[in-house]
Structure 1
C-alpha cells in the first residue's frame, strides 16, 4: 500500500513543479480549454437528448404501466449519462495531449532535465508528424480498451446494490489507470517504450498507478479543474515514469553521494 502514497506524492510534486515554472503554465491551459468546450457541448447534448435516445432504444417498454416505465427509462438515462461522463474523463486526457502535443512534449523534457542527475533528458528522434501519428494511434487503442471496460461497468451497473456501490468504485480505479497511462505516455514514448510495454509497466505497479491516477480522475469530475491540473499532471506523470523505469532523480544521487562521503550504508556496500 506504500505505493499508493508514492503515486499521490508524484501527483502533488507535478503541481508544485508547475508553480515554480509558471511561465509554462499559461500555454498549457490552452489545449485543455479547447477540449473542455468540445466535451461540455457533447455532455449538454447527452443531457438534453439522452432520454429521447433511451426511449427510442427501449420500444418494448412503451406499454408498461406507470410508474415502472418512467423509473426504468429514468434509470437507464442516468446510467447513460454516467457512462458518457466516465468516457469523457477517460478520453479528455488523450484528446488534450493530442491537441497540445508539442507543448506537453517540451514540458516533459524540461521536467526530465530538471530532476536528472546529469541535467539531460531523453529525446525522440522522430519527426513531429510521426510522433503525432503514434500518439493518436496509441490513444485510440487505449480508448478501445477503456470503452470495453466502460461497457462492462455499464452492464454491471444494472445489478441491484452492486451497481450502486461496487461498480462506481471500480470505475474510478479503471479511470485512474487509463488516465495515468495517457499522461505517462508522453515521457515513455519519448524513450521509445511501445504501448504494450507501457501497459506491462503500469500493471507491474498498479497501486502506484492508482495512487496517482485515481485522485486525479476524481478531481477531473469537477468542472474546469481538469484544465488547470493538466500541465502539472504531465509533470507528475514524467516523475512517475522515471520511477517505473528505475531512473535516478537528482536528489537520490545527492543522497547517495552524501552517504558515501559519510561512510554510510552506500559506501559500505560499495566496498564489499
Structure 2
C-alpha cells in the first residue's frame, strides 16, 4: 500500500508541474483535445448504431421470445458500449501520443531536466519514430485490452462476482495498460524497448497502479482528460525515472522501424 500511495504522489507532482506552467498544460492538452473529439465521435456513433450491430451479430436469437431476445440484446448492447468506453481510455493514450509525439517528448524533456536532473545520453525521438512506436505499441496494447474485455465480459455474468470483482479488475487492467502507454516516451528516450518497459513496470506494481488507477478513472469523465492527460504524462515521466536505475546503459535498443 505504501507504493500505491507513492504512485498517487507522483501523479500529484505531475499535476503540480503542468498547472504551474500554462505552456506545458497547453502543449499537452492540444493533442488530447483532438483525440477526445475523434474517440468521442466514434463512441457516440457506436452507441447510436449498437442495436443494429447486436441484431446483426446475434441472428440465432431471432426465434427467441420477444422478452428474452430483448433482454439478451440489450445486455449485450450495453456491454459493447461499456467495453468501448473502457477501451477508448487505453486507445486515447495511444492515439494522443501518436498525434502529439513531439509535444509529449518536449514535456518529458522538461520534466526530466527540472525534476530528475536530466537524462544523460537521452535519445531524440522525433515525430516519425514516435508515431511508429505509438502505432506499434498501441496495436499490441489494444489487442490485449480486447482479449481482457472479452474475458471480463464473460465473467460479468457470474452472480455477485460479476458485479463486484469484475468492475475492479476492469479498472486495474485498464490502468495497467494505460501506464504502459504513459511511460512509452520516457523509456524510449532511455533506449528501452517495450519488453524492458513492461518488465520494469512489473517490479513495482503498487507504484504503477497508484499513479495509473486515478488517471484511468478521471479520464472516464468527458473533457477532464484535457487536464488529466498532460499531468498523467508528467507523472509517467517521473515514474519512468524511478524505475530506470540511474547510470543504466542508455544505448539504443529500440530500432526504427522494427
TM-score of the superposed pair, with normalisation by structure 2:
0.90
Q: 1:67 & 1:226 partners in 2: Cα distance?
A: 39
Deviations 1:93-128 (A, max 9, x none): 1101110000100000100000134x5565214554
Deviation at 1:10, TM superposition (A): 0.5
Once the 2 structures are TM-superposed, how far is the Cα of residue 130 of structure 1 from its aligned partner? 2.7
1:107 corresponds in structure 2 to 107
**TM alignment of 1:146-185, pairs within 5 A:** 146-185=145-184
Q: Is the 8 A contact 1:109 1:122 kept in 2?
A: no
State the 1:215 CA deviation. Answer: 1.1
Written as runs of structure 1 = structure 2, the 5 A alignment for 1:10-159 is: 10-117=10-117, 119=118, 122-126=121-125, 128-159=127-158
Distance 1:200 1:156 in 2: 28
Do the aligned partners of 2:29 and 2:227 also contact (CA within 8 Å) in 1? yes
Secondary structure, aligned partner of 2:183: helix
Q: By how many angstroms is 1:46 displaced?
A: 1.2
TM-score (norm 1): 0.86
Matches within 5 A, 1:191-270: 191-247=190-246
State the aligned residue count. Answer: 247
Aligned CA distance change for structure 1 residues 229 and 122 (closer, same or farther; 3 Å): farther
Query: In structure 2, how many angstroms separate the alpha carbons of the residues matched to 1:120 and 1:56?
Result: 53
CA distance in 1, matches of 2:146, 2:65: 34
Larger Rg: 1
User: Unaligned stretches of 5+ in structure 2?
Assistant: 248-258
Q: Which moved more, 1:202-211 or 1:139-148?
A: 139-148
Q: Distance in 2 between matches of 1:91 and 1:132?
A: 14
Structure 1 residues 122 and 144 mapped into 2: Cα distance closer, same or farther (>3 Å)? farther
Distance, in Å, in 1 between the alignment partners of 2:102 and 2:126 is 11
**Inter-CA distance 110–56: structure 2 relative to 1 (3 Å threshold):** same
1:67 shift after superposition = 2.0
Partners of 1:236 and 1:141 in 2: CA distance: 23
Cα distance in structure 2, aligned partners of 1:54 and 1:99: 32
Mean CA deviation greater in 49-58 or 3-12 = 49-58
2: CA distance, partners of 1:28 / 1:125: 18
Name the CA shift for 1:29/1:126 in 2 (closer, same or farther; >3 Å). closer
TM-superposed deviation, 1:85: 0.7
Note the C-alpha offset of 1:141. 1.7
Please list every run of 5 or more consecutive structure 1 residues that lacks an aligned counterpart in the other structure. Answer: 249-272
CA contact 1:94–1:139 (8 Å) conserved in 2: yes
Q: Distance between the aligned counterparts of 2:110 and 2:121, measured in 1?
A: 10
* 1:215-262 alpha-carbon deviations (Å, 9 max, x no partner): 1101111111112211111111111111112449xxxxxxxxxxxxxx
